[in-house]
């Protein structure tokens, strides 16, 4: 019996990771294939693959948007994809894995030596080219995935300090001051170094971690913000990787290269580069961006909110969505809070709107979609945009434009109302913290309007639909 294994991992590790795992398992089960999927979620590794699982597997599927350790799979045929592809077309990935496994066995049967080795070289070269195409985004998302827990913990700690008053933290020795120290003075202080460090780690493995973090800390101390962290992270990663390839030492000294020579040389170059060359212009750019954002009002503010909203709904947790979220999160460290509010409102709107749509016109949805609508309500309230994916996958031409319209309006209204949000996650539940969000009622109006627009738009489009997905079974409709 054919056996497959897989690993799924997304930057936040909240929804996409587990949706991809479930989709792959269902697709494998429908084909009578045994499959085990390891998930790299926010809480750590789940359903971990053992050495026995790997040795028994005919092929490996890596559906990941961040870097994962591939060393345990050495010698196994590997199919690589994004998490989104695993959710949208799991059956195709299963077929691809089966074909790859078959090809691998053929090469091994022909010649257990040279031909198998040649196959491995071809496969590795192909994987290298694919990794290079996805490189910058994957490295960035790896950094973001490690940064997010610091941002969430810091942002919520800051929000909790506001429970005692918006300026209560200024009184030394108070609980509000302690919470602010935890959030703003510690967690947020680590945000940029962690981002830079793990971008470099993704590129150059362990030798890149120290120069990346140190470069990120220098950037943060210089006031270059998250832009400086990005520059330091990529510089440290690619520099360390280049040094690793080009520095040749006797075998007796190879052991000191990753722990002494590479971190030291890269740290010196990155540190001096940030201090004397790159830090000042990046700080100027960050200051200009901050000044522009804080000065936005009226139409300009609404236009930015519209763009962020459209991005949040476009791929529901994919690269475009993560770009908008990363942009807003990065600005929190510079005390720019309006984009974060717009992004959260726009991210909540798609699943909330689709839940409302299933309630308003249940006969236009299958029983499975109506059940997904119930789950979408709680996902939307929790700011998990991925709750809209089952609907978008089933009917993308109607659902995606509808949720983009609703999210764009929610984001535009949030920015237009001047709503600021100090917490980077939590959805509706963080709104109960006093002073965590300014103009709370107007913020709820923005979310409600976006939800209503999404619901009415998608139902309007479905009212005129032809049986593109096939006629809905009457036995599944509510009378």
The count of other CB atoms within 10 Å of the CB of residue 467 is 7
CB atoms within 10 A of CB 362: 17
Rounded Cα gap, residues 446 and 201, in angstroms: 39
- The predicted pLDDT at position 88 comes to 80
CA–CA distance from 195 to each of 57, 66, 149, 150, 219 (Å)?
A: 35, 13, 11, 10, 11
H/E stretch holding 451? helix 440-463
Q: What is the pLDDT of residue 355?
A: 95
Residue ranges of domains in the chain = 3-110, 135-279, 298-476
Look at residue 458 in the predicted model and tell me its pLDDT.
94
Question: In the prediction, which pLDDT does 97 show?
Answer: 85
Amino acid 469: pLDDT: 44
Instruction: Kindly report the length of the chain.
Output: 479
Question: Is-above-0.85 flag for pTM?
Answer: no
Nearest to 79 by CA among 60, 64, 66: 60
Distance CA 174, CA 3 (A): 59
pLDDT score recorded for residue 104: 66
**C-alpha span between 56 and 34 (Å, rounded):** 11
Compute the distance between CA of residue 81 and CA of residue 76 in angstroms, rounded to an integer. Answer: 16
Question: Is 33 an active-site residue?
Answer: no
The predicted structure's pLDDT at residue 190: 93
Residue 411 CB contacts under 8 Å (≥ 6 apart), including other chains:
305, 306, 307, 308, 309, 310, 312, 342, 343, 345, 346, 446, 450
CATH topology for 3-110?
Rossmann fold (3.40.50)
189 contacts: CB under 8 Å, gap ≥ 6? 220
Query: Average pLDDT per run of 10 along the chain, which is 479 residues long?
Result: 85 78 88 89 83 88 84 85 84 86 62 49 52 70 86 84 80 90 90 94 92 95 90 95 90 84 95 94 90 79 93 85 86 86 94 94 85 88 86 86 95 94 81 82 95 95 62 37
Strands 3-9, 59-64: pairing kind: parallel
Pick from 421, 427, 412: nearest CA to 439: 421
The pLDDT value given to residue 123: 52
| Identified catalytic residue from 10, 336, 354, 447 | 10
């Amino acid at each position: 019996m054919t056996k497959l294994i897989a690993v799924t991992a997304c930057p936040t590790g909240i929804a996409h990771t587990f949706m991809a795992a479930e989709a792959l398992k269902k697709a494998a089960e429908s084909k009578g294939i045994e499959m085990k999927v390891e998930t790299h979620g926010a809480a750590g590794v789940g359903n971990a693959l053992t050495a026995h699982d790997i040795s028994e597997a005919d092929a490996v599927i890596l559906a990941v948007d961040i870097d994962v350790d591939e060393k345990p799979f050495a010698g196994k045929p590997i199919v690589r994809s994004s998490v989104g592809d695993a959710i949208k077309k799991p059956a195709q990935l299963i077929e691809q894995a089966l074909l790859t496994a078959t090809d691998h066995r053929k090469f091994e049967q022909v010649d257990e030596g040279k031909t198998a080795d040649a196959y491995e070289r071809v496969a590795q070269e192909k994987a290298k080219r694919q990794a290079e195409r996805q490189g910058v985004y994957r490295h960035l998302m790896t950094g973001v995935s490690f940064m997010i827990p610091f941002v969430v913990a810091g942002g919520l700690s800051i929000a909790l300090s506001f429970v005692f008053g918006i300026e209560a933290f200024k009184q030394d020795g108070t609980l509000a001051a302690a919470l602010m120290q935890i959030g703003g003075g510690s967690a947020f202080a680590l945000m940029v170094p962690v981002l830079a460090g793990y971008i470099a780690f993704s590129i150059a493995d362990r030798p890149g971690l120290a120069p990346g973090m140190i470069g990120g800390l220098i950037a943060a101390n210089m006031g270059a913000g998250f832009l400086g962290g990005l520059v330091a992270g990529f510089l440290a990663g690619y520099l360390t990787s280049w040094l690793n390839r080009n520095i040749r030492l006797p075998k007796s000294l190879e052991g000191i290269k990753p722990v002494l020579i590479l971190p030291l040389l890269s740290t010196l170059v990155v540190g001096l580069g940030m201090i004397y060359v790159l830090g000042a212009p990046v700080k100027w750019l960050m200051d200009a961006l901050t000044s522009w954002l804080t000065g936005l009002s009226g139409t300009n503010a609404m236009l930015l909110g519209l763009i962020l909203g459209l991005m949040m709904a476009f791929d529901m947790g994919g690269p475009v969505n993560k770009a908008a979220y990363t942009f807003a999160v990065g600005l929190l460290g510079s005390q720019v809070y309006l984009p974060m509010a717009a992004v959260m409102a726009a991210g909540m709107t798609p699943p909330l709107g689709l839940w409302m749509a299933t309630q308003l016109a249940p006969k236009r949805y299958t029983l499975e979609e109506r059940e997904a609508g119930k789950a979408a309500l709680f996902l939307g309230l929790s700011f998990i945009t991925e709750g809209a994916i089952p609907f978008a996958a089933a009917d993308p031409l109607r659902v995606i434009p509808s949720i983009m319209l609703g999210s764009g309006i929610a984001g535009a209204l949030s920015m237009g109302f001047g709503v600021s949000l100090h917490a980077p996650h939590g959805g509706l539940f963080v709104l109960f913290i006093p002073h965590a969000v300014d103009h709370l009622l107007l913020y709820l109006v923005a979310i409600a309007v976006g939800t209503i627009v999404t619901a009415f738009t998608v139902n309007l489009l479905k009212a005129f639909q032809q049986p593109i997905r096939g006629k809905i079974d009457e036995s599944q409709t509510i009378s």
